[in-house]
């Protein structure tokens, strides 16, 4: 019986740990994109760095970030996650993009991100990119976070999306620097919702009752 109870606990825990969609802004399917890249290796005044906000409705641990973009040759991606300034209106940036320290709570530099063809939209071949976070990221419920994805080519762009507030935050290297711009970025955040205390209490109580009945 103890083994059965343990297996039941593990089974329920596995169910609760299954990755869930914590946030999603689906692509419009129009082929429209928002430029998200820089000119390697030194950059140029034409470079743009884009940030879009997201919230998890519950406390959770993020494990994957997916986004839809076009498919130019890319040698390096930068993925960053930021908290917000007070009031949540923009990312808490403490340095300029592409520097070693920018104020992000997570920063990853990778040579590639796994992707699968999504089709051609408005004449533009698109792919769905899936970036598994090397270390899970705890998210507070309803807290405003910001995602930056950039590639080392100004030819890279992320598809526009629906479901957001219709704007994103952007840094134009050659000016006018930081500002808001129109358009949502197509991305989603997957992870594991934190189990509710009531669920854990019910599970513990159920296991205790089963064990007591077995002993009786």
Tokens of 31: 């082929």
User: Coil, helix or strand for 174?
Assistant: coil
Q: What is the reported pLDDT for 178?
A: 92
What is the average pLDDT across 58-86? 96
* Nearest in space to 70 (alpha carbons), one of 154, 5, 8: 154
pLDDT above 50 for 1:
no
Mean pLDDT lowest for which of 13-17, 32-36, 59-63, 158-162?
Answer: 13-17
Backbone angles phi, psi at 15, to 5 degrees: -65, -45
**Dihedral of alpha carbons 90, 95, 99, 102, sign:** negative
CB contact at 8 A, 190 and 54: no
Q: What is the reported pLDDT for 166?
A: 97
Please give the model's pTM, rounded to 2 decimal places: 0.83
pLDDT above 60 for 203:
no
Confidence of residue 96 (pLDDT cuts 50, 70, 90): confident
| Domain segments of the chain as ranges | 19-215
Q: What is the reported pLDDT for 99?
A: 54
pLDDT above 60 for 200:
no
Confidence of residue 174 (pLDDT cuts 50, 70, 90): confident
* Nearest in space to 173 (alpha carbons), one of 48, 77, 50, 52: 48
């Amino acid at each position: 019986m103890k083994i059965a109870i343990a297996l039941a606990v593990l089974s329920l825990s596995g169910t609760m740990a299954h990755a869930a969609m914590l946030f999603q802004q689906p692509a419009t399917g129009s082929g429209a994109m928002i430029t998200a890249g820089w000119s390697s290796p030194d950059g140029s005044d034409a470079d743009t760095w884009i940030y879009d906000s997201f919230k998890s409705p519950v406390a959770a641990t993020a494990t994957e970030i997916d986004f839809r973009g076009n498919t130019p040759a890319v040698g390096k991606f930068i993925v960053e996650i930021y908290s917000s300034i007070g009031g949540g209106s923009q990312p808490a940036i403490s340095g300029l993009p592409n520097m070693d320290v920018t104020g992000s709570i997570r920063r990853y530099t990778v040579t590639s991100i796994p992707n699968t063809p999504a089709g051609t939209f408005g004449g533009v071949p698109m792919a769905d990119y899936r970036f598994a976070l090397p270390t899970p990221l705890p998210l507070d419920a309803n807290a405003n976070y910001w995602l930056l994805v950039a590639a080392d080519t100004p030819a890279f762009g992320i598809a526009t999306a629906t479901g957001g507030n219709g704007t994103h935050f952007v840094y134009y290297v050659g000016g006018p620097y930081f500002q808001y711009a129109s358009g949502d970025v197509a991305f989603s955040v997957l992870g594991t919702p934190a189990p509710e205390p009531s669920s854990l209490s019910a599970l513990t109580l159920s296991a205790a009752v089963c064990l007591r009945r077995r002993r009786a």
